[in-house]
């Protein structure tokens, strides 16, 4: 039984989908709105703008892959083909690994489906600190509700897999807060392979919802195309220059594509948007482009459980704990959200970070491994201003992210919380993922070991899958790149609609925040362009 | 808290050359590394990164292959089959997977990885930083000593090098059927897999 890949039928019925790698000659395309990127921001915007009757052109650097590709559930293929830099993206110093999607549907094609509204503390902090208007809890509620309805977001009604159940059990035992995660799925088979692309179309990613919606409205989608430069003149964007990529989606094919549109929307994410603006020489009088890049830095602990966990099967994230997230409101020592990570062997080995017999012995226990991760809520304190995106001589993005004592303190506390949870859930042994750490056999031992660890870059394997900021929104022009409606301050016909707008981290997995703000901003933009 | 003594300093068993530590602290190797092997290569008249890729590869150069043939068994140890055709096939597959990982990196990461390889391929820097004369002749014990030294180094760039090498090799291996077996991973759920692929 082949699963319907949606696109074969759609293209047969006249959807306008173009693979730029097949083009032989330079092209010029025209549209009312050109959208760069097809992830949470671009997909949502494309559906709304095309529904308003605007001619929309979506440009995606990654490939178009569907359930027909995802049916192999193969981690090596998926990480290589569906993630930025083949899942090898990292900060410039190599200290933090970055998992970010690169495909039609963007990161939504490969994320783990956790869907949270922007926390009220975060919205309030943005209003107070960046002057963000019309984005309070009550003002945002209808936009989130609309996208939750569109994408089937609901708390996961199926019992959690054993990986998540350990978080639930541990929290219950300790009396800590733990709740069920809302997921954007319809008819989910509970397989656990969300990170490799959903083989059943159950995940309501942009790939199977808003992009098909936009294509039905007559939008055009071009994939395998990398936007190199926006052309600024006379206070406007006058065009964009792009390169077609070859079939392997790595090297340019040599074909050049020029796009002329009335309006341009950047939705390439918090690394690629600032890089595009910087290499285009976008006007930026206060040097705000690429600043305040927040990443929810992640550290992890692994537990060896007495019974099989099989953390590679079942909905990857279904339980979370915010016990340590808002202890002091938005401010104070850094808060963190605790979740788990799915444990397919490739990702498992990469987070494990060992070699030789230690790698062999550890990985042989993969079926018994339970993983815990902490998402640190960065960007809410003087001592946590986020990182910075710059570009190298070739225009490629460089990601700089420093970690000071404020965040190290959070990492240390997060290790402690996660180890305590794992022992409360019945772990035999716990390993804080750190080059100097050993397996600990009791909570007391773990506590002492975590206290003694060296907190420095490279000694902790650090990760991020949540890229935010770099084009902050708000009303204080000295701090922000766009206004409260996501309009770029220094050109009349340019909007930025995705996670790069967020002036701090979210304090929760960001996809629903991106959908909600995109829905609000794109709806307003559609009205203005139709007026 | 931002400063740390390093693993080597904590465990007396780890071999640490006091002279080298002093050098590292003095920053001599720091400037060498920061300048990148590009500068070293230029000085020695050997700007290797401009060489073309090895036959059948898209990123790796001829000079990188002996290094990887030494690193793969050092990282995977007895997870590799014993010498023979099966092992040769697997190592060849892993080298191509590592090559593809390098090929897919963006320009800045490619440059950094290329510099790491250059540093490990030039005799002078290899000897100084790893204690290894040639990759072809390195013993398992020497390879382990090199990886331990880098892993335990108080010098972040060497630790970064350790992490990059281990990640490249283990990431490649655990994406193969042999790696799945080593991890006791049964593979995707067979029922649904059959349904999707029949």
Per-residue pLDDT of chain A in tens (531 residues, 90 and over written 9):
678 999 999 999 999 999 999 999 999 999 999 999 999 999 999 999 999 999 999 999 999 999 999 999 999 999 999 999 999 999 999 999 999 999 999 999 999 999 999 999 999 999 999 999 999 999 999 999 999 999 999 999 999 999 999 999 999 999 999 999 999 999 999 999 999 999 999 999 999 999 999 999 999 999 999 999 999 999 999 999 999 999 999 999 999 999 999 999 999 999 999 999 999 999 999 999 999 999 999 999 999 999 999 999 999 999 999 999 999 999 999 999 999 999 999 988 988 889 999 999 999 999 999 999 999 999 999 999 999 999 999 999 999 999 999 999 999 999 999 999 999 999 999 999 999 999 999 999 999 999 999 999 999 999 999 999 999 999 999 999 999 999 999 999 999 999 999 999 999 999 999 999 999 999 999 999 999
Mutual orientation of helices B28-43 and B107-121 as an angle, nearest 10°? Answer: 90
CA distance A402 to A385: 9
Number of folded domains that form chain A? 2
Contact A86 B101 (CB under 8 A): yes
Q: How far apart are CA B103 and CA B98, in angstroms?
A: 9
Nearest chain A Cα distance for residue B147, angstroms: 9
Q: Please state the φ and ψ torsions of residue A385, each to the nearest 5 degrees.
A: -100, 10
**CB-based contact, A390 to chain B, within 8 Å:** no
Q: Which two tokens stand for residue A79?
A: 């990480």
- B92/B176 Cα distance (integer angstroms): 12
Q: Are residues A86 and B170, on separate chains, in Cβ contact within 8 Å?
A: no
Q: Which of A402, A417, A180 is nearest to A297 (CA)?
A: A402
- Surface-to-core class of residue A409, CB atoms within 10 Å of its CB (0-12 exposed, 13-18 middle, 19+ buried): middle
Residue of B nearest to A70 (CA): B196
Q: Say which residues have a Cβ less than 8 Å from residue B12's Cβ, sequence separation at least 6.
A: none
* A453 shares a domain with A524: no
| pLDDT > 70? residue B41 | no
Q: Is A494 found in the same domain as A425?
A: no
Please list every residue in chain B whose beta carbon sits closer than 8 Å to the beta carbon of residue A71.
Answer: 193, 196-197
> Closest by alpha carbon to B117, among B163, B61, B172, B73?
B61
- Domain with A44 in it: what CATH number? 3.50.50.60
Q: Say if residues B68 and B121 touch (Cβ distance below 8 Å).
A: no
Give chain B positions within 8 Å (CB) of A85: 104-106, 109
Residue among A74, A349, A355 whose CB faces B74 most closely? A355
Is A109 inside any structural domain? Answer: no
Indicate if A344 and A270 belong to the same structural domain.
no
Residue A181 forms part of a structural domain: yes
Q: What percent of chain B has pLDDT over 90?
A: 73
**Segment B74-108, tens digit of pLDDT:** 999 999 999 999 999 999 999 999 999 999 999 99
pLDDT of residue B7: 34
CB A73 within 8 A of CB B193: yes
Q: Mind listing the pLDDT tens digit for each residue in B165-186? A: 999 999 999 999 999 999 999 9
8 Å CB contact of A355 and B107: no
Paired tokens of A453: 């660890």
Same structural domain, A519 and A370: no
Tell whether A54 and A29 lie within a shared domain: yes
Q: Is the pLDDT score of B4 beyond 70?
A: no
Q: Which of A464, A483, A499 is the last residue of a domain?
A: A464
| pLDDT at position A353 | 87
A450: nearest Cα among A423, A421, A411, A403: A411
SS3 B38: helix
Confidence of residue B48 (pLDDT cuts 50, 70, 90): low
**Which CATH number belongs to the domain containing residue A415 in this structure?**
3.30.410
DSSP class of A27: E
CA distance B140 to A178: 47
Q: Which chain A residue lies closest to B151 (C-alpha atoms)?
A: A435
pLDDT computed for residue A1 by the predictor: 65
Domain assignment of residue A84, yes or no = no
Q: A488: number of CA atoms within 13 Å, CB side?
A: 30
Beta A96-98 vs A462-464: how paired, if at all?
A: parallel
Asked if residue A377 lies in contact with residue A505, where contact means CB atoms within 8 angstroms, the answer is: yes
Contact B196 A86 (CB under 8 A): no
Read off the tokens for B66.
């002996």
* Chain A residues lying within 8 Å of B143, measured CB to CB: none
Determine contact, residues A275/A36, Cβ cutoff 8 Å.
Answer: no
pLDDT for A2: 78
Nearest to A486 by CA among A477, A504, A476, A474: A474
Size of interface A-B (CB pairs under 8 A): 174
Distance CA(B82)–CA(A381), nearest Å, equals: 55
My answer on whether A242 and A275 are in the same domain is yes
How far, in whole angstroms, is CA B198 from its chain's centroid? 40
Residue in the structure block whose two tokens are 């071999």: B15
> Taking CB atoms and an 8 Å limit, are A80 and B164 in contact across chains?
no
Half-sphere exposure of A79 (CA within 13 A, CB side): 24
CB atoms within 10 A of CB A297: 29
pTM over 0.90: yes
- Cα B91 to Cα A181, B66, B140, B174: the distances in Å are 42, 12, 16, 13
- pLDDT band per the 50, 70, 90 thresholds, residue B50: low
Of A443, A464, A485, the position where a domain reaches its end is A464
Rounded alpha-carbon distances, angstroms, from residue A176 to A179, A324, A421? 10, 9, 9
> Among candidates A238, A242, A240, A237, which has minimal Cα distance to A257?
A242
Domain boundaries along the sequence of chain B: 41-197
- Which of A442, A464, A486 delimits the end of a domain? A464
In-domain check, residue A11: yes
Residues whose CB falls within 8 Å of the CB of residue B30, separated by 6 or more in sequence, listed in order: B24, B155, B157
Answer whether A337's CB lies under 8 Å from A135's CB: no
Whether A122 and A173 map to the same domain: the answer is no
What's residue A351's pLDDT? Answer: 87
Same domain (yes/no): A334, A283: no
Cβ-Cβ contacts under 8 Å, A367 against chain B: 184-185
Q: How far is residue B115 from each of residues B41, B109, B111, B150, measured CA to CA in Å?
A: 10, 10, 6, 16
Same domain, residue pair A166 and A260 = no
Angle at A310 between CA A308 and CA A314, to 5 degrees: 135
| A46 lies in some domain | yes
ipTM: 0.96
Residue-number span of the structural domain to which A15 is assigned: 7-63+118-155+202-288+470-530
Pair A184, A210 in one domain? no
Do B147 and A357 form a contact (C-beta atoms < 8 A)? no
Same domain, A283 and A429: no
> Which residues in A291-419 belong to E strands, given as ranges?
291-293, 298-304, 319-320, 327-330, 336-339, 369-376, 387-391, 397-400
**CA dihedral over B172, B178, B184, B188, signed as positive or negative:** positive
Domain assignment present for A1? no
Same domain, A420 and A448: yes
Rg of the Cα atoms in chain A: 22
List the 123-182 stretch of A: residues with Cβ below 8 A of B. Answer: none
């Amino acid at each position: 039984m082949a699963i319907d890949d949606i696109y074969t039928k759609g293209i047969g019925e006249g959807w306008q989908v173009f693979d730029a790698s097949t083009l032989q000659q330079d092209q010029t395309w025209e549209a009312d709105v050109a959208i760069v990127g097809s992830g949470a921001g671009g997909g949502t915007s494309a559906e709304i703008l095309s529904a308003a009757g605007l001619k929309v052109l979506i440009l995606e650097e990654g490939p178009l892959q569907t359930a027909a590709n995802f049916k192999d559930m193969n981690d090596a293929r998926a990480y290589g083909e569906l993630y930025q830099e083949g899942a090898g993206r990292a900060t410039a110093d190599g200290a933090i690994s970055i998992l970010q999607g690169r495909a039609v549907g963007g990161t939504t094609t490969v994320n783990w489906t956790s869907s949270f509204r922007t926390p009220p503390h975060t919205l309030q902090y943005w209003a107070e600190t960046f002057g963000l208007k019309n984005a309070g809890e009550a003002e945002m509620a209808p936009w989130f509700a609309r996208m939750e309805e569109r994408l089937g977001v609901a708390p996961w009604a199926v019992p959690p897999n054993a990986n998540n159940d350990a978080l639930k059990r541990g929290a219950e035992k300790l009396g800590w807060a733990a709740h069920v995660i809302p997921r954007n799925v319809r008819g989910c088979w509970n397989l656990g392979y969300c990170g490799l692309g959903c083989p059943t179309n159950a995940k309501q990613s942009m790939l199977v919802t808003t992009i098909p919606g936009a294509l039905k409205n007559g939008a055009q989608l071009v994939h395998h195309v990398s936007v190199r430069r926006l052309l600024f003149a006379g206070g406007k964007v006058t065009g964009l220059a792009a390169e077609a990529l070859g079939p392997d989606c790595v090297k340019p094919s040599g074909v050049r594509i020029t796009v002329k549109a009335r309006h341009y929307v950047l939705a390439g994410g918090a690394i690629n948007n600032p890089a595009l603006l910087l290499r285009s020489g976008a006007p930026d009088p206060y040097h705000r482009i690429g600043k305040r890049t927040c990443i929810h830095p992640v550290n992890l602990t692994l537990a060896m459980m007495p019974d099989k966990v099989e953390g590679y099967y079942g909905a990857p994230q279904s339980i979370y704990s915010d016990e340590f997230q808002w202890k002091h409101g938005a401010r104070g020592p850094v808060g963190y959200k605790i979740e788990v990570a799915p444990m397919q062997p490739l990702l498992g080995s990469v987070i494990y970070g060992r070699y030789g017999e230690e790698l062999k012995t550890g990985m042989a226990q993969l079926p018994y491994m339970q993983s815990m991760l902490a998402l640190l809520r960065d960007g809410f304190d003087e001592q946590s201003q986020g990182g910075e995106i710059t570009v190298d001589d070739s225009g490629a993005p460089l990601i700089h992210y420093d970690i000071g004592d404020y965040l190290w303190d959070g990492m240390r506390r997060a290790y402690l919380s996660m180890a305590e949870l794992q022992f409360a859930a019945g772990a035999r042994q716990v390993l804080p993922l750190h080059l100097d750490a050993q397996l600990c056999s009791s909570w007391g031992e773990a506590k002492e070991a975590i206290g003694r660890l060296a907190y420095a870059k490279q000694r902790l394997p650090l990760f991020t899958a949540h890229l935010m900021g770099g084009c902050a929104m708000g009303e204080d022009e000295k701090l922000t790149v766009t206004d409260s409606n996501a309009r770029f301050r220094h050109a009349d016909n340019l909007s930025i609609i995705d996670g790069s707008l967020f002036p701090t981290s979210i304090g929760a997995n960001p996809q629903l925040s991106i959908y909600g703000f995109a829905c609000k901003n794109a709806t307003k933009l559609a009205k203005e362009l139709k007026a | 808290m931002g400063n740390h003594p390093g693993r080597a300093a904590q465990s007396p068993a780890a071999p640490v050359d006091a002279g080298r530590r002093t050098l590292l602290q003095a920053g001599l190797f720091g400037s060498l590394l920061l300048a990148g092997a590009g500068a070293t290569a230029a000085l020695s008249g050997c700007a290797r990164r401009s060489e073309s890729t090895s036959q059948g590869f898209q990123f790796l150069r001829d000079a990188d292959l002996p290094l990887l043939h030494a690193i793969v068994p050092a990282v995977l140890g007895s997870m590799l089959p014993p010498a023979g055709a099966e092992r040769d096939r697997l190592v060849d597959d892993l080298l191509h997977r590592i090559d593809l990982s390098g090929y897919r990196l963006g320009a800045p990461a490619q440059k950094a990885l290329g510099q790491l390889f250059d540093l490990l391929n030039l005799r002078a820097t290899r000897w100084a930083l790893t204690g290894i004369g040639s990759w072809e002749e390195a013993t398992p014990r020497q390879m382990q000593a090199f990886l331990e030294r880098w892993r335990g180094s108080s010098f972040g760039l060497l630790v970064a090098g350790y992490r990059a090498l281990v990640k490249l090799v283990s990431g490649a291996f655990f994406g193969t059927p042999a790696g799945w077996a080593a991890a006791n991973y049964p593979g995707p759920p067979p029922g649904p897999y059959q349904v999707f692929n029949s």
